Amino acid sequence: MNRNEDRPFLWGTATSSYQIEGATREDGRGPSIWDTFCATPGTVLGGDTGDTACDHYHRMPEDVAMMAGLGINAYRFSLAWPRVQPDGTGPGNAAGLAFYDRLVDELLERGILPWVTLYHWDLPQALEDAGGWPERDTAYRFADYASLAYDALGDRVGHWTTLNEPWCSAMLGYVEGVHAPGRRDARAGFAAVHHLLLGHGLAVQAIKQAAGGRAVETGITLNLSPKVPATGSAEDAAAARWEDGLSNRLYLDPLLRGKYPDDVAQELDRLGCPLPVLDGDLEIISRPIDVVGVNYYTSHLVEARPGGQNGWPGTHTLSRGLPSTAMGWEITPAALTDLLLRLEGEYGGPAWYVTENGAAFDDVAGADGFVDDEARESYLRSHIDAALEARDRGVNLHGYFAWSLLDNFEWALGYERRFGIVRVDYDTQRRVPKRSARYYAARIASETR
Ligand code: GBH
């Protein structure tokens, strides 16, 4: 099923529950770690929260109609775990599940393939109170939630992604503390890495089991970023390899090779942040999956710096002086081609999808709400070209999802940064497709003709 040349290339957009839904207290939804984090002063720019966000929970049919108007043939969205299981355990919350039920039906009626992500960072607060991802038990709770979600939607949804970007959950949430739950504890963070991956493997098992004989594609989405050594020196090569290990191989290797990379695992042991692996875990984590999603935004030029903090390897990301997005991320489309070629060459097996790619720019809306975002159009064009080049050079690539359909809650940066191809006026909730949306629609039409 992996090398099915007949399967149509998916042209989609992606969103996530906490970033767009709002309605955080409706229909029995429980609190997530992001509700708690946003309510903590000094965590999110401007004190913004996801309480209302894009009000997608109430405007869903309008948003699906808009996607259909753009000619999008797939939509990647996430389920809010605390809508499905308000405190992370026990029976499903029927009112919460009903929303996703309606969303899936609406998509199917419009000919848009629904692609579910089970976890895009909104852990039920009750599970964090019990220790969160650093606790092994959270992995088992996640698998229970996965089978519950599959039981409710699996008759209509064939694409199931377990986690979005476990690197972000573990590193930003538990090591750096800049995302929910805002902890700063490296040891806990690397325990979280392992338990997220274990949760992924257990969830894949649970979904396959719940599916019985029914066809289902399972997978995971990773944020992957090429790490390029700044010079030909051995020190810079070692620095780039360490960064590649921490960002990329620490996830790819256990998932697709059944083994953590030795260099990274040994260094983490030395640093007092061991991966808490028990016998049999890697067999679970590396259960065959059908799809690996790649979220791509930029690449990094890495140099060695003497004396990292607390004995950590000293590395530094250098600016290349290239044009950047409003996030300060340099625009490096060719590195996406290189990345996909490397993935196919070193880890070939599953189907690859670009499950997120896009950019924030300082949009200026006219009186009619229209944004003439030439920069975003050109970002999308160059990255779509780069992805298709990789496909033409033999990468088993089956789709591309633009991040994001709508301007939305950009985590610690609140509503300040806009990634949408559709403008959202947060006072009126009016949506206006930007120039980049028109471009994307035209591109899809020409690619699928
Ligand atoms: C994605 O994360 C998220 O899935 C999505 O929810 C979010 O809205 C979107 O991106 C936009 O941020 O700091 O210069 O070293 C992407 C997270 C972005 C993390 C790039 C690593 C490295 C760039 N990744 N980042 S830099």
Task: Note the pLDDT tens digit of each residue in 180-209.
Answer: 999 999 999 999 999 999 999 999 999 999
CA nearest ligand 1 atom 12, residue = 410
What is the whole-number distance in angstroms between the Cα of residue 110 and the centre of ligand 1? 30
The CA distance from 145 to 151, in Å, is: 10
Cα three-residue angle 411-412-413, rounded to 5 degrees: 90
CA nearest ligand 1 atom 8, residue = 410
Q: Which of 125, 163, 158 minimizes the C-alpha distance to 142?
A: 163
From 48, 178, 223, mutation site for ligand 1 pocket: most ligand atoms within 8 A of C-beta: 223
Q: Which of 77, 93, 69 minimizes the C-alpha distance to 18?
A: 77
What is the whole-number distance in angstroms between the Cα of residue 300 and the centre of ligand 1? 13
**Ligand 1 interacting residues, C-beta cut-off 6 A:** 16, 19, 164-165, 168, 223, 225, 295, 297-298, 317, 329, 356, 403, 410, 419
Active site residue: 21, 106, 128, 165, which one? 165
Q: Which of 133, 139, 136 minimizes the C-alpha distance to 162?
A: 139
- At 227-259, the pLDDT tens digits run 999 999 999 999 999 999 999 999 999 999 999
Closest atom of ligand 1 to CA, residue 167: 19
What is the whole-number distance in angstroms between the Cα of residue 297 and the centre of ligand 1? 7
- Domains of the chain from N-terminus onward: 3-447 (3.20.20.80)
- Which pair of tokens denotes residue 286? 């590396």
> Which residue carries 């790819």 as its tokens?
252
Q: Cβ neighbours of residue 121 under 8 Å, at least 6 residues apart?
A: 16, 18, 33, 34, 164, 165, 168, 169, 173, 179, 180
Closest atom of ligand 1 to CA, residue 164: 4
Q: What is the residue type of 234? A: A
Q: What is the residue type of 74? A: A
Kind of pairing, strands 10-14 and 397-403?
parallel
The CA distance from 168 to 92, in Å, is: 27
Cα three-residue angle 105-106-111, rounded to 5 degrees: 95
Q: Go through 74-111 and write b for each residue having 16 or more CB atoms within 10 A of its CB, e for each that does not.
A: bbbbbbbbbbbbbebeeebbeebbebbeebbebbeebe
Closest atom of ligand 1 to CA, residue 327: 14
pLDDT at 5: 53
Q: What is the residue type of 448? A: T
From 247, 303, 356, mutation site for ligand 1 pocket: most ligand atoms within 8 A of C-beta: 356
CA nearest ligand 1 atom 7, residue = 410
CA nearest ligand 1 atom 16, residue = 223
The CA distance from 357 to 233, in Å, is: 32
Asked if 123 and 78 count as a contact pair (C-beta separation under 8 A), the reply is: no
pLDDT at 98: 98
What is the whole-number distance in angstroms between the Cα of residue 25 and the centre of ligand 1? 27
Asked if 28 and 61 count as a contact pair (C-beta separation under 8 A), the reply is: no
Q: Cβ neighbours of residue 128 under 8 Å, at least 6 residues apart?
A: 33, 36, 181
For 212, other C-beta atoms within 10 Å of its C-beta total 8
- ipTM value, please give it: 0.91
Segments of the chain with pLDDT less than 70: 1-6
The CA distance from 260 to 274, in Å, is: 11
The CA distance from 88 to 400, in Å, is: 31
What is the whole-number distance in angstroms between the Cα of residue 343 and the centre of ligand 1? 20
Provide the 3-class DSSP secondary structure of residue 67.
helix
pLDDT at 269: 98
What is the whole-number distance in angstroms between the Cα of residue 26 and the centre of ligand 1? 29
Active site residue: 106, 128, 243, 356, which one? 356
For the residues of 273-285, what is the DSSP string, one character each? ------TTHHHHH
The CA distance from 218 to 156, in Å, is: 14
The CA distance from 444 to 10, in Å, is: 9
The CA distance from 435 to 443, in Å, is: 12
For the residues of 384-430, what is the DSSP string, one character each? HHHHHHHHHTT--EEEEEEE-SB----GGGTTSS---SEEEETTTTE
pLDDT at 3: 41
pLDDT at 109: 98
Closest atom of ligand 1 to CA, residue 358: 11
In the residue annotation, 346 being an active-site residue is answered as no
* 343 HSE (CA, 13 A, CB side): 34
The backbone torsions φ and ψ at residue 286, rounded to the nearest 5 degrees and listed phi first, read -95, 15
CA nearest ligand 1 atom 21, residue = 223
In the residue annotation, 356 being an active-site residue is answered as yes
The CA distance from 129 to 142, in Å, is: 15
